[in-house]
Amino acid sequence: MIALFFRDLKLSVRAGGGTMIGVLFFMTVVAVVPFGVGPDLNLLSRIGPAMLWIGALLASLLGLDRLFQAEREDGSLDLLLMQETPLLMTVFVKCAAHWAATGLPLVIASPLLGLFMNMNELAIGATMLTLLAGTPAITFIGAVGAAVAVALPRGGLLVSILVLPLAIPVLIFGVSAVYAAIEDPAPFLPPFMILMAITLFFAVIGPVAAAAALRHSAD
Amino acid sequence: MRLLAEGLSARRGEDLIFNDISFALGEGDALVVTGPNGSGKSTLLRVLAGLLRAESGRLRIEGGPAEIAHPYELSHYLGHRNAMKQELTVRENLSFWQHFMGDSPGGSGIDVAAAAEAVGLAGITHLPFGYLSAGQQRRMAMAKLLVAYRPIWLLDEPTAALDAGADRLFAALVTAHLERGGIIIAATHQPLGLGSTQSLQMKGFTH
């Protein structure tokens, strides 16, 4: 299992992998926002957390369709399916590696992009924390979409469409936790706890559903 | 340990692609599956590997390790695709499969360098897999059979893209596996150079 984690990590970091592409896409999305809404610093700092969250959501969707498709194309998926180790553990480890390679860099890049949006330290800190808690959920939800679309030749867009509605709660509670942290009356903890609960929930449901979809995709 | 198939059939779409296939293989036995293109050789192997559901019939292990739930957990499957990553080096690929698959009870795999040596490509394990020629890639996929021990080998067109020398080398690997008490089921057009084998002639669609 550890071998699988490090193999997937290596594949993401090497040429053609998802790590740099995700971060660059995240930067592009966030960097065009100030050009779009104009140089109003107050407005930018107000919409900043939401923009970072939307950017991170879209960037994490970007590489998801390759999660199982790449394995299927070179025949590795057959061997992953045949092992004694439960398939849902294999899926869980692949998700963890995918998040470490594509989700974590987004979290790390977010403070820099927060500066683009004229956010203060507290807002940047809260955004980083909520992204750290929320992006794993997007990966686990996305794994289900990736498993369903594994046999489709151009499944990328389909995965995004399947996954986005399920990822909306993550976005809502992530952004509302950030606003709760920077605006005084609303408490920070309740939305943040719900965000973590969503992540834990999908960490259990996601691998089970994805494993079931992979078992039935065999041809 | 014996591998028993009883009345296997499989469906592709509406048609039964094969029907009522039964065989029994003991330790050291090989089964060569022959037949024209599209007669269901690959489908049969994928059913045996647990990757396709059989329409009817069953597959079981007699006298194998108790903790094994399905015969495919004791099997290597070498399909048309090599199951190796182009971006990783040969050594990384092989050592990944070695650690991920682990050994079945009753044997142990050989280390990566020895496996590369056994397929005659000892000097190039540091290269990315994508740099190798088609024949070299196929040989390295065979080295994968050696790094993790499985008593049953399911081989689908194992010698495609191989030259005559590699054919002989492969026949030697197969013979060595059978002598250790392994079981081999191979779908092939070319003779594998095996000694005593059972054979199964696939005929194609039955309506």
Q: Is residue B78 part of a domain?
A: yes
Q: What is the mean pLDDT of residues B60-82?
A: 86
Q: Measuring CA to CA, how many Å separate A208 from each of A151, A160, A214, B58, B143?
A: 18, 20, 10, 26, 33
Q: What is the mean pLDDT of residues B139-153?
A: 92
- Two structure tokens written together for B42: 């690959």
Q: Is residue B112 part of a domain?
A: yes
Quote the pLDDT of residue B194. 63
- pLDDT > 70 fraction of chain A, expressed in percent and rounded: 98
Quote the pLDDT of residue A132. 96
* Rounded Cα distance, A207 and B182, in Å: 34
Residue A170 pLDDT level (bands cut at 50, 70, 90): very high
User: Do A79 and B99 meet the contact criterion of CB atoms below 8 Å apart?
Assistant: no
Q: Is residue B101 part of a domain?
A: yes
Q: Is residue B206 part of a domain?
A: no
Q: What is the DSSP letter of B206?
A: B
- Residues of chain B numbered 102-161 and touching chain A (CB < 8 Å): 102
Residue B29 pLDDT level (bands cut at 50, 70, 90): confident
- Looking at the predicted structure, is the pLDDT value of residue A208 above 70? yes
Tell whether B46 is within 8 A of chain A (Cβ).
yes
- Looking at the predicted structure, is the pLDDT value of residue B107 above 90? no
Quote the pLDDT of residue B95. 93
> CB A74 to CB B73 under 8 A?
no
Q: Side chain identity at A181, as an amino acid letter? A: A
Tens-place pLDDT, residues A63-101: 888 899 889 988 999 999 999 889 999 999 999 999 999
Which residue in the set B53, B72, B102 is minimally distant from A82, CB to CB? B72
* Rounded Cα distance, A128 and A133, in Å: 9
Give the gap in angstroms from C-alpha A94 to the nearest C-alpha of chain B: 13
Q: Is residue B131 part of a domain?
A: yes
Tens-place pLDDT, residues B32-42: 898 888 888 88
All residues at 6 or more sequence positions from A75 whose CB lies less than 8 Å from its CB, including other chains: B79, B80, B81, B82, B83
- Looking at the predicted structure, is the pLDDT value of residue A109 above 90? yes
- Looking at the predicted structure, is the pLDDT value of residue B203 above 90? no
Q: Measuring CA to CA, how many Å separate A163 from each of A20, A22, B165?
A: 22, 17, 50
- Looking at the predicted structure, is the pLDDT value of residue A118 above 70? yes
* Rounded Cα distance, A135 and A128, in Å: 10
Instruction: Write down the mean pLDDT value for chain A.
Output: 91
Give the gap in angstroms from C-alpha B176 to the nearest C-alpha of chain A: 23
CB pairs under 8 A between A and B: 70
Q: What is the mean pLDDT of residues A110-114?
A: 94
- Looking at the predicted structure, is the pLDDT value of residue B93 above 90? yes
- Looking at the predicted structure, is the pLDDT value of residue A47 above 80? yes
> CB A83 to CB B84 under 8 A?
no
Quote the pLDDT of residue A15. 67
**Number of domains forming the structure of chain B:** 1
Domain, as residue range, for B111:
2-201
Q: Is residue B103 part of a domain?
A: yes
Helical (H) or strand (E) element with B3: strand B2-12
**Lowest mean pLDDT, pick from A113-117, A198-202, B8-12:** B8-12
Q: Which residues make beta-bridge pairs with B201?
A: B34
- Looking at the predicted structure, is the pLDDT value of residue A16 above 70? no
Question: What is the ipTM, given to two decimal places?
Answer: 0.90
Which residues from A are below 8 Å from B72, CB to CB?
82
* Rounded Cα distance, B203 and B39, in Å: 6
Task: At A99, give phi and psi (nearest 5°).
Answer: -65, -45
> CB A78 to CB B100 under 8 A?
no
CATH classification at residue B66: 3.40.50.300
Q: Is residue B207 part of a domain?
A: no
Radius of gyration from C-alpha coordinates of chain B:
17
